[in-house]
Chain A
Amino acid sequence: MNHFEVFGLPRKLGIDTAELQRTFYELSRILHPDFHQGAPPAEQASALEASARLNAAYRTLRDPIARVEYLVRLEEGRATREGAAATREAPPELLAEMFEIQEALAEAKAGGLDADGRRRLAAERDRLLARHREEELRLAGPLSAAWDAGDAGERPRLLDACKRALATRAYLGTVVEDLTEALGESQEGHVTHRRH
Chain B
Amino acid sequence: MAYSDKVVDHYNNPRNVGSFGKETPGVGTGLVGAPECGDVMKLQIRVNLDTGVIEDAKFKTFGCGSAIASSSLATEWLKGKTVDEAAKIKNTDIVNELRLPPVKIHCSVLAEDAIRAALADYRDRYADKLDGAGAPVASA
Q: Which residues of A contact B (CB under 8 A)?
A: 88, 90, 92, 95-96, 98-99, 102-103, 106, 163, 166-167, 170-175, 178, 194-196
Bound-state Cα–Cα, A170 to B35, Å: 6
**Contacts A95-B33, A174-B39 known; 13 new A-B pairs at CB < 8 A:** A95-B32, A99-B40, A102-B62, A106-B62, A170-B37, A171-B35, A172-B38, A173-B38, A174-B38, A194-B37, A194-B38, A195-B63, A196-B65
Cβ contact within 8 Å between B31 and A95: yes
Cβ contact within 8 Å between A96 and B31: yes
Q: Given A196-B1, A196-B64, are A170 and B32 neighbors across the interface (CB < 8 Å)?
A: no
Q: Which residues of B contact A (CB under 8 A)?
A: 1, 31-33, 35-40, 42, 60, 62-65
The 6 closest A-B pairs by CB, nearest first: A174-B38, A167-B35, A102-B62, A170-B38, A171-B38, A196-B1
Smallest CB gap from A169: residue in B: B38
Cβ contact within 8 Å between B33 and A98: yes
24 intermolecular pairs with C-beta atoms under 8 Å apart: A88-B35, A90-B33, A92-B31, A95-B31, A99-B31, A99-B40, A99-B42, A102-B62, A103-B60, A163-B35, A166-B35, A167-B33, A167-B35, A170-B37, A171-B33, A171-B38, A171-B40, A173-B38, A174-B37, A175-B38, A194-B37, A195-B63, A195-B64, A196-B64
What are the residues of chain A within 8 A of B60 when measuring CB–CB?
99, 103
Bound-state Cα–Cα, A90 to B38, Å: 10
Bound-state Cα–Cα, A99 to B63, Å: 11
Bound-state Cα–Cα, A92 to B121, Å: 13
What are the residues of chain A within 8 A of B31 when measuring CB–CB?
92, 95-96, 99
Q: Given A196-B64, A196-B65, are A102 and B36 neighbors across the interface (CB < 8 Å)?
A: no
Closest Cβ–Cβ distance, residue A191 to chain B (whole Å): 9
